[in-house]
Each structure stands twice: as C-alpha cells, then as structure tokens.
Amino acid sequence: MPLPWTLERANAALPYVRRIVADLVAAYARWRETVNAFEVASAGDTAAPSAEALRLQREAQALAREIDHFGSELAALGIQCKSLEIGTVDFPAVLDDAPAYWCWTLGERDVAFWHTRDGGYASRRPVVESDATASG
C-alpha cells in the first residue's frame, strides 16, 4: 500500500494531479466518442470492416493507451482514479487512526472532502479542521 497522504501534501500536489486528470478526462471522452463512431461505422459490416471502421478502431486503441498512461502516472504517485468520466481521484490517508481517502474531483479548487476506505463518492464528507491535521 502506498504511503498515506496528508491533506497538505495532497493539496500541494494538485497542480500536477489536476493536469493529469484533465488530460485523462478529455482522452476518455474522446475514446467514448470514437468507440461509438466505430460501432456505427462497423454496424453494417458483414465481411470485412470498412476503412473508416478500421481507422476508428486504431484511434480508439491509441486513446486507450493514452488513458492507461495517465492512469499509470496517478498510480505511480499512489493516487487512485475513481472516475474517468468526471475525474475523481482518491489519495490514501489515515484519519483518526483509520484508513481513509482524501477525495478530489476535477473542477474542485482544493482537496476538501474525504471518505472511509469502504465508502465512495456518495459518502464524501467535507474536511473539517481536525481532519486537516490528521496523520498521514
């Protein structure tokens, strides 16, 4: 398991994390559009796929590699990507001697939420001053 993140450290890393997550979300949106276009282009193919379907397939594969690369960058930092669609990431933390996550979503100014390890986005709670000083 990666080292726990303090809230201060998570917020200090946000400029870098924000760029990765923004690129990840954009690549994922393009991948979804490309996969949908591929499905439409190949829907009528009974024998060999059309040149357009093959082009879209290659483009989707390249975007998937790009998405994997961005995910690997986050994982190397010990950060877990929880949503490719909206750009939610979790920073492993320890709050009140219990495993938890600092939770951040693209568009939020700071890391201002947390949840338990068993919880998820729906169980996010706002950070309060005592959380901010939690060990990590």
Mind listing the pLDDT tens digit for each residue in 1-52?
567 999 999 999 999 999 999 999 999 999 999 999 999 988 876 778 889 9
Neighbours of 92 (CB within 10 A): 19
Q: How far apart are CA 9 and CA 34, in angstroms?
A: 37
Q: Residue 99: which pLDDT band, with cuts at 50, 70 and 90?
A: very high
Q: Which two tokens stand for residue 4?
A: 């726990």
pLDDT at 29: 98
Cα–Cα distance, 71 to 112 (Å, whole number): 22
pLDDT of residue 121: 87
Cα four-point dihedral sign 87, 91, 92, 95:
negative
Q: Residue 81: beta bridge partners?
A: 89
